[in-house]
Chains A and B, each alone.
Chain A
Amino acid sequence: MTTKTIAKTSVIGARVPKPDAPDKALGKTRYINDMELPMMLFGKILHAGRPHAKILSIDTSAAKALPGVHVVLTGEDCPTFKFGMARDNVPLKTGKVLCVRDEVAAVAAETEEICDKALSLIKVEYEDLPGVFDPEDALKPGAPIVHEGKEDNKNLHYLFEKGDMAAAEADSDVILDNVFNVHYVTHCCMGTSAVLADYSVDGKLTIYSQTQYPYNFKMDLAPALGVHPGDIRVIQPPVGGAFGSKLDVYPFEPVCALLAKAARRPVKLVFDREEEFINAPTRQPVKIHIRLGAKKDGTLTFRNVDNLLNNGAYTSWGPTVPFVMMRTFSSHFRVPTVRVESQSVYTNNPYAGSFRGYGNVQATYATSIQMDMMAEALGMDLLTLSLKNAQASGEVTPQGSVLNECGFAECLQIAADKTDFTAKAVKYAAERDKPGRIKRGIGMASSIHNAGGAKIHKSDGCGTILKLDDYARATVITGASEIGQGIDAVIAQVIAEELGIPLSDVTIANDDSAIAPWDVGVHASRTTFIAGNGARRAARKAREQILNAAAGYANVEAGALDLRQGWVVQDADGATVMPLDRLLRKMHFQKDAELVMVTDYYEPPSEEEAEGHVGDMSAAYSHAVHVAEIEVDTETGEIRVEKITSAQDVGRIVNEMGLEAQIEGGIIMGLGYAISEQLQIVEGQVKNPSFRDYKVITSPEVPELDLHFVETMSQTGPMGAKGIAELPTIVIAPAIANALYNATGVRIFDPPMTPEKVARAIFEKDAMMDAAE
């Protein structure tokens, strides 16, 4: 056999297309919305459509009699086990409805049309009750009570305190005191909510779900069904978006399962778009009352924050966002003294779940705008103020987060240098009061976020099973869910890198809870970090097994060997030793047969939060800085975003193309939050449940994007990588808000910065100025 030499190459940092992209481009990929099982029925839900009422009676007789209808269920037919974070929700409601979403009845029928007809035949008699919609109203004595047993309407409460606040206030030369009211937005996944439930004859449930946390999903779903979690198999077909909306059990899923059980046939339930706007969980709105102190040399002294959360009628992840907001308030810049108190209050509104950025979008809107205000109050430029208070590697925040491999200062410098930030800010501010209706503005914002998960469960780990077949093709069975974010490509890169095989020879399997090992789910920017590390550790075990076997056959030390491009080679010079597939077959078809099959469970080195909310609860943290350059038509109030420059600490670039894709998508999603998206909920009713009136960003509105990646090489991340996907959504809105101020002298404390809001604010400012003259 002739030898050749193979040089060492790397796929880390390469631009890798997603393995599932070709099928998606072909329209071949089957989402739940496209799936069909034999004998499948369709399910639909009758929502209350009113925010607070007693259910006096439900007459389903006409619906049941409709030809083609198999099952009609109401709350009377269902187990009364409560599910949800606060165990305050049931699949089908009895007694009272508490918000417009409330699921009052459900049908399973042979076609969706028959389902719709059946729903229209269900007669529900309600007695409307006075509703309460504003958390401040809900706290007043005599307010309508949303949940029995919670007469004060108070739900989750969080408090974090560090340091002597009174002393810090006294020590400050400037104190800012502001209230920010951040709004309801919704995920607008292009694939609407869908679920397909199928019971086996022995009562075990297979559920095809869009969930992004399949294992805990089983545990959380079980009480709603009265089924043992071990008897639930979760299969995750490809999803049409998630962004955090699938991190909890929502009633439509157990309702569908209950229909399937009663019908003894598979049932698929899909929301139409209007239903999706009304019933999918929103981002958590918050009223943030925040005080920021600083000394005249720019040293920040304290943050003192009170958050009031509109809980809505039930509790999903939304009211838990203070958990992350606390981290922003205590750790975004060096702030020695901190107090953050958060209270969620039940109302008869639709409720919030988790959404990309999870509380940090809300908190950073406040902290980054206040930094801009503080810079002005102190007569300092924002960059100098920011650099003065930006933490360095190794600093520990008041909550105990250890900021290893911290890239904050570098990100600030890059973003400012690339945009000539300070000079432009001065120039544009000087133009503000001059004539001319188009004004230009530049604004900067930043934030910190978890980049290695967030230890919010007993385990933050991920299981990986790796096997190689006789042809050196690898299969990775990972607990990590692929929700479009590209973890499939990243894991393939990690395996390909360690085992020296082509990317196309790696298959990722991760969609069946009966087969794949546990993972806590996609959230907190953890997947690259934790699933990536798990994959790397598994790959290293496989590599060790392979090289030891090769060493035996080749009579060299295992340490002298490497795996490159499908070959076992000498590490020193790349001289080929034997093909990897031949080695694997030798290992397999010998007397003491060996297959390469390894497992790994990776638990990141983070801590659960201890009492008092202290703990290093992510395995890594990272920062991003955005500079937004905008043009404002001061008459119409229209903001045209010209350019966004981003500098983000990514740890290490693994899939450069995937990284860009996530950041670009995150920025545009955050841009919608900033200037155009608002789910208008009035008296508990969603007023704009359509794309016509809920304005997501469309293609002509996309600004120029200039992305910069800082590689701080995390010691704990896979190949140094950190999680990245939430920061871009978190930082953009205050950057725009600060640019708006730079251009016009107007600040918007209650986003979105719609043309109308901006026009009005400018109009009122001008009127005040005229009155003053």
Chain B
Amino acid sequence: MAQTISETGISEYAAPTTLAEAAELMADGNATVVAGGTDLMVQIEAGRRHYKDRLVNIRRVADMRGIEIVDDTVRIGALTTVTEVLNDPLLAEVAPVLRETANRFASSQLRNMATLGGNICNASPAGDTIIPMLLLDAEVALTSWQGAPRSRYVPLADFFTGPSKTVIEDTEILSEIRFAKPKPGFEARFRKSGPRPALEISTVSAGFGAVVGADGLSGVRIALGAVAPVPYRARKTEAFLEGKALSAEVVEEAAGIAAGEVTPIDDVRSTAWYRTHLVRIFVRRLLNPETA
């Protein structure tokens, strides 16, 4: 077996069961957090991350689970697994795009293990579950210990600072994701490159959300994955579409603006050309689902 277990320097291990316990364990900034483990194990093996002195297994923190609506705010515990998102009846009703995305995530085994919080913190530019959450204007709760657990809320759109980089501090845990229950008329859709239905680091992923009214779109959100250093809000495209009614010309122009505002790279998976090509196609299809 090839797992490297050498001088990792872990000198403490804890598996807290409450958010307060977990936050307190993070207070000195000397802890590595593990939830599902789907990213951490891989990153450690690859040498991209190293353990701090304390390994904190937060998977058993009961108050980081659960999905509920409180005062028109949808609250999802950060430990919610992708499988739970896929199967949850509440989310199926209020934000079906999350379920659509969960259905395109990795594999059955990884869906069972991976948590929404973990996926967000891993901050992959291609992070699939992040795209729909951007469409929903989600915020994340970052909880730290200040005599008691205290949370600050950061809009997801402001959370990412670079590939695998976020604003989260060493003393913080991402404990919850929340978003306002979408307004009536809100539609959201997600697309991802294939040909595999799921087990694929996206060459390009794309999401569209807006309130579709009689005179046009409002609250337009276009989110793109794997075409920028972070999961990307295509703000120029959004601005263009805001208030407009969808016609063939508008769709085509929007697709063109989206293709123009992204900065994809060539890498082992794909090229800038193809990624830009797909952005145009996906935005077109997201705006005009009959053509999909």
| Chains A and B touch (C-beta atoms under 8 A apart) | yes
Asked if A688 lies at the interface with its beta carbon under 8 angstroms from chain B, I say yes
Smallest CB–CB gap between A479 and chain B, Å?
Answer: 33
A756 touching B274 by the CB < 8 A rule? Answer: yes
Asked if A676 lies at the interface with its beta carbon under 8 angstroms from chain B, I say yes
Tell me whether chain B's interface is mostly helix, strand or loop, or mixed: loop
Q: How far is the CA of A759 from the CA of B194 in the complex (A)?
A: 13
Given the complex, which residues of A lie within 8 Å of B277, measured CB to CB?
A: 759, 763
Q: How far is the CA of A117 from the CA of B270 in the complex (A)?
A: 35
Smallest CB–CB gap between B52 and chain A, Å?
Answer: 20
Asked if B14 lies at the interface with its beta carbon under 8 angstroms from chain A, I say no
Residue of A nearest to B7 (CB): A117
List residues 374-423 of chain A with CB under 8 A from any CB of chain B: none
Given the complex, which residues of A lie within 8 Å of B269, measured CB to CB?
A: 693
> Which of A270, A638, A687 is in CB contact (< 8 Å) with B195?
A638
B194 touching A755 by the CB < 8 A rule? Answer: yes
B195 touching A639 by the CB < 8 A rule? Answer: yes
Asked if A680 lies at the interface with its beta carbon under 8 angstroms from chain B, I say yes
Q: How far is the CA of A262 from the CA of B274 in the complex (A)?
A: 53
Residue of A nearest to B274 (CB): A756
Encode contact with B along A666-678: 1 for CB under 8 Å, 0 otherwise. 0000000001100
Q: How far is the CA of A692 from the CA of B267 in the complex (A)?
A: 13
Asked if A113 lies at the interface with its beta carbon under 8 angstroms from chain B, I say yes
Asked if A264 lies at the interface with its beta carbon under 8 angstroms from chain B, I say no
Asked if B70 lies at the interface with its beta carbon under 8 angstroms from chain A, I say no
Q: How far is the CA of A355 from the CA of B215 in the complex (A)?
A: 61
Given the complex, which residues of B lie within 8 Å of A759, measured CB to CB?
A: 274, 277
B195 touching A272 by the CB < 8 A rule? Answer: no
Given the complex, which residues of A lie within 8 Å of B7, measured CB to CB?
A: 117
B196 touching A755 by the CB < 8 A rule? Answer: no
Asked if B214 lies at the interface with its beta carbon under 8 angstroms from chain A, I say no
Given the complex, which residues of A lie within 8 Å of B291, measured CB to CB?
A: 437
Asked if A760 lies at the interface with its beta carbon under 8 angstroms from chain B, I say yes
Smallest CB–CB gap between B158 and chain A, Å?
Answer: 29
Q: How far is the CA of A134 from the CA of B281 in the complex (A)?
A: 35
Asked if A700 lies at the interface with its beta carbon under 8 angstroms from chain B, I say yes
Encode contact with B along A630-662: 1 for CB under 8 Å, 0 otherwise. 000001101110000000000000000000000
Smallest CB–CB gap between A62 and chain B, Å?
Answer: 15
Residue of A nearest to B1 (CB): A112
A700 touching B2 by the CB < 8 A rule? Answer: no
Given the complex, which residues of B lie within 8 Å of A692, measured CB to CB?
A: 201
Asked if A116 lies at the interface with its beta carbon under 8 angstroms from chain B, I say yes
Smallest CB–CB gap between B99 and chain A, Å?
Answer: 18
Residue of A nearest to B199 (CB): A698
> Which of A638, A688, A693 is in CB contact (< 8 Å) with B194?
A638
> Which of B5, B199, B271 is in CB contact (< 8 Å) with A756?
B271
B2 touching A270 by the CB < 8 A rule? Answer: yes
Given A635-B281, A756-B274, A701:B268 Cβ within 8 A: no
Given the complex, which residues of B lie within 8 Å of A675, measured CB to CB?
A: 195
List residues 244-292 of chain B with CB under 8 A from any CB of chain A: 268-271, 273-274, 277-278, 281, 291
B194 touching A680 by the CB < 8 A rule? Answer: no
A116 touching B196 by the CB < 8 A rule? Answer: no
Given the complex, which residues of B lie within 8 Å of A688, measured CB to CB?
A: 268
Given the complex, which residues of A lie within 8 Å of B203, measured CB to CB?
A: 755-756
Q: How far is the CA of A692 from the CA of B46 in the complex (A)?
A: 13
A112 touching B268 by the CB < 8 A rule? Answer: no
Given the complex, which residues of B lie within 8 Å of A760, measured CB to CB?
A: 273-274
Asked if B4 lies at the interface with its beta carbon under 8 angstroms from chain A, I say yes
Asked if B11 lies at the interface with its beta carbon under 8 angstroms from chain A, I say no
> Which of B1, B5, B197, B268 is in CB contact (< 8 Å) with A700?
B197
List residues 193-229 of chain B with CB under 8 A from any CB of chain A: 193-199, 201, 203
Asked if A273 lies at the interface with its beta carbon under 8 angstroms from chain B, I say yes
Smallest CB–CB gap between A753 and chain B, Å?
Answer: 11
Q: How far is the CA of A675 from the CA of B195 in the complex (A)?
A: 10
Given the complex, which residues of A lie within 8 Å of B201, measured CB to CB?
A: 692-693
Asked if B109 lies at the interface with its beta carbon under 8 angstroms from chain A, I say no
Smallest CB–CB gap between B224 and chain A, Å?
Answer: 15
Smallest CB–CB gap between B105 and chain A, Å?
Answer: 14
Smallest CB–CB gap between A756 and chain B, Å?
Answer: 4
Smallest CB–CB gap between A63 and chain B, Å?
Answer: 14
Given A113-B5, A116-B4, A272-B2, A640:B195 Cβ within 8 A: yes
Given the complex, which residues of B lie within 8 Å of A270, measured CB to CB?
A: 1-2
Q: How far is the CA of A437 from the CA of B196 in the complex (A)?
A: 19
A117 touching B271 by the CB < 8 A rule? Answer: no
> Which of B2, B6, B194, B196 is in CB contact (< 8 Å) with A273?
B2
Given the complex, which residues of A lie within 8 Å of B6, measured CB to CB?
A: 113, 116-117
Q: How far is the CA of A640 from the CA of B194 in the complex (A)?
A: 10
Given the complex, which residues of B lie within 8 Å of A639, measured CB to CB?
A: 195
A676 touching B195 by the CB < 8 A rule? Answer: yes
> Which of B4, B199, B273, B274 is in CB contact (< 8 Å) with A113?
B4
Encode contact with A along B145-167: 1 for CB under 8 Å, 0 otherwise. 00000000000000000000000
Most buried by A among B196, B201, B273: B196
Identify 30 residue pairs between A and B in the complex whose beta-carbon atoms are under 8 Å apart, listed by A's number: A112-B2, A112-B4, A113-B4, A113-B5, A113-B6, A116-B6, A270-B2, A635-B281, A636-B193, A636-B194, A636-B278, A636-B281, A638-B194, A638-B195, A639-B195, A687-B268, A688-B268, A695-B196, A698-B196, A700-B196, A700-B197, A700-B198, A701-B195, A755-B203, A755-B274, A756-B271, A759-B277, A760-B273, A760-B274, A763-B277
List the 4 closest A-B pairs by CB distance, nearest first. Answer: A272-B2, A756-B274, A638-B195, A635-B281
Q: A636-B193, A700-B196 are in contact. List 17 more A-B contacts (CB 8 A).
A: A112-B2, A113-B4, A113-B5, A116-B4, A117-B6, A270-B2, A639-B195, A675-B195, A687-B268, A693-B269, A701-B195, A755-B193, A755-B194, A756-B271, A756-B274, A759-B274, A760-B274
- Hey, which bits of chain B sit against chain A, CB under 8 A? 1-2, 4-7, 193-199, 201, 203, 268-271, 273-274, 277-278, 281, 291
